[in-house]
Amino acid sequence: MKFFVRTYGCQMNVADSNEMGRHLKDRGLALTENPDEASIMLVNTCTVRHHAEERAFSEIGRLKKWKAQVPGRKIVLTGCAAERTKQHIEDRFPYIDLVVGAKSIVEFPSMVEELINRRATDDELDYAVPASGDTISSFVTIMRGCNYSCTYCIVPSVRGREIYQPIDTILGEVRDRVREGVREITLLGQTVNSYHDSSRNGGNRGRDTDFSDLLEAVAAVDGIQRIRFMSPHPYYMTSRVIESMARVQQVCESLHLPVQSGSTSMLKKMARNYSRDEYIRLIERLRTAMPEMTISTDIIVGFPGETEADFQQTLSLIEEAQFDWGFIFKYSQRDGTPAADLPCFPTELIEERHQECLAVSDRIALRKRSNLAGSLQEILVEDDSFGRNRGNYKVHITGNVRPGETVMARITDAERPTLEGSVE
């Protein structure tokens, strides 16, 4: 009775895989980390960028041979690419047994149940839980979808508009994770800080539970040591949210805050709903409230119409904001987005800007983490030799530690993105 999962894409996809795995766990199923032992292969796809989609399709192509090797093997395809190209997938890969799009993830239990029941009499199917990797630190999805229409982004098309989990449902899941041994919760949503819930007040939006209320409620769950969240939108990073972050001890001093461009004109073309100056002022407010905060970001280079002056504005924003690390992406044209028909830059120019942006970001990141050398850091141990500090740096630990415990470690080497630390 074994099952294997392959997840592509963002943390939302990882959380979806974990959620689907928990359903299978509830049925008494087991895990394999070896696809050769599996009878069911679940591939959770991403479509945000062309490269991620093609990687998933290449994997699916190879699975035709995997399926043919053992009678009764089944392939289940899920996620954003499954939503966007369902008909194409079914035509191109007729040997796939079940396609579950991103908008249908909540229906996964009944859809898989039907697949199980359909084959239950021939004893050919085996199932198990996907490798979730969330025994110490776990994702909890608080909302799905996105109400924004950023011109480069396919997410609203494949995940739909925002739907919010009731706060009682979220807290119930948090308590379940704590009972399983989890000590750190990461709240997930496409624009996670836009969360609101009116279920406790009869639908009166004026008295909704908002994201700051949720942070405080999660912190009140006995056993929660740390809280993170991603990805917030700058527009919803209100004073109330910042005050809660600073006040709630369990909220970690780490934030991933996508900016996408340092040019106000490009931000307007991207429909990001803030200016460069507004973003910089927000960074200043966050660091005033939480001086030890690490801030990371996403940046897109080569968006249609990006002039050399626009690009230089992005480089100068990285210098001004002093991000602790950044994820620099080359613009990927996606059918179905507002920017899909805009003329693209030559690949060579996009690559040149990508490398220049990476160099600036990496230089600042090295300097900032080098400041941690010699410092004493609180580390939540995630496995036998690795953990993370509150600033979300991964630390390789020397010393006798156990998963789930919190230790103090002296940082001995900060040259590489994964720090080295020794337990004291």
CATH code where residue 329 lies: 3.30.750.200
Q: Are 272 and 348 found together in one domain?
A: yes
Distance CA 45, CA 8 (A): 5
* 44: its two tokens: 């959770």
Report the pLDDT value the prediction gives residue 272, as an integer from 0 to 100. Answer: 96
Q: Are 286 and 327 found together in one domain?
A: yes
Model pLDDT for residues 85-129, shown as the tens digit of each residue: 888 888 888 888 888 888 888 887 778 777 665 543 333 322 222
By the 8 A CB rule, do 246 and 255 touch? no
Residue 207, pLDDT above cutoff 70: no
Highest-pLDDT range among 13-27, 52-66, 86-100, 213-227: 213-227
Distance CA 177, CA 183 (A): 8
Specify whether the backbone of 222 is left (phi greater than 0), alpha (psi in -120 to 50) or beta: beta
Report the pLDDT value the prediction gives residue 130, as an integer from 0 to 100. Answer: 29
CATH code where residue 214 lies: 3.30.750.210
Q: Work out whether the CA dihedral 146, 148, 150, 156 comes out positive or negative.
A: positive
Which helix (H) or strand (E) element contains residue 330? strand 325-330
Q: Which residue has the higher pLDDT, 332 or 199?
A: 332
Question: Residues 6 or more apart from 116 whose CB is under 8 A from it?
Answer: 27, 125, 127
Which segments of 220-289 does DSSP mark as H helices, in order?
239-247, 264-270, 276-289
Model pLDDT for residues 20-29, shown as the tens digit of each residue: 877 766 666 6
DSSP of 5-51: EEE-SSHHHHHHHHHHHHHHHHTT----S-GGG-SEEEEEE--SSHH
Of 399, 403, 387, residue with least CA distance to 252: 387
Is 262 inside any structural domain? yes
348: pLDDT confidence band, cut at 50, 70 and 90?
Answer: very high
By the 8 A CB rule, do 29 and 127 touch? yes
Q: Give the chain's domain count.
A: 4
Which helix (H) or strand (E) element contains residue 296? strand 294-301
Q: Residue 56 in 3-state DSSP?
A: helix
Model pLDDT for residues 287-315, shown as the tens digit of each residue: 999 999 999 999 999 999 999 999 999 99
Of 184, 209, 117, residue with least CA distance to 379: 184
CATH code where residue 24 lies: 3.40.50.12160
Strands (DSSP E) contained in 40-101 are: 40-45, 74-79, 98-101
| Dihedral Cα 79, 81, 84, 89, nearest 10 deg | -110
Q: Are 226 and 270 found together in one domain?
A: no
Q: Are 266 and 247 found together in one domain?
A: no
Q: Are 229 and 279 found together in one domain?
A: no
Q: Are 239 and 285 found together in one domain?
A: no
Which helix (H) or strand (E) element contains residue 115? helix 108-119
Is 128 inside any structural domain? no
Model pLDDT for residues 315-334, shown as the tens digit of each residue: 999 999 999 999 999 998 88
Q: Which residues form the domain of 87?
A: 3-119
By the 8 A CB rule, do 42 and 79 touch? no
CATH code where residue 395 lies: 2.40.50
Is 245 inside any structural domain? yes
Q: Are 309 and 263 found together in one domain?
A: yes
By the 8 A CB rule, do 415 and 370 touch? yes
Q: Are 314 and 246 found together in one domain?
A: no
Is 383 inside any structural domain? yes
Residue 197, pLDDT above cutoff 60: yes
Q: Residues of the chain with pLDDT > 90: what percent?
A: 58
Q: Are 232 and 269 found together in one domain?
A: no
Is 125 inside any structural domain? no
Q: Are 194 and 289 found together in one domain?
A: no
Residue 79, pLDDT above cutoff 80: yes
Q: Which of 252, 270, 295 is at the close of a domain?
A: 252
Q: Are 138 and 154 found together in one domain?
A: yes
Sheet holding 254-256, edge to edge: 254-256, 294-301, 325-330
Q: Which of 235, 252, 269 is at the close of a domain?
A: 252
Q: Are 189 and 286 found together in one domain?
A: no
Q: Which of 207, 232, 252 is at the close of a domain?
A: 252
Of 29, 5, 25, residue with least CA distance to 17: 5
Is 325 inside any structural domain? yes
Residue keyed to tokens 């239950």: 120
Question: Residues 6 or more apart from 329 whose CB is under 8 A from it?
Answer: 49, 298, 299, 300, 301, 354
Is 67 inside any structural domain? yes
150: pLDDT confidence band, cut at 50, 70 and 90?
Answer: very high
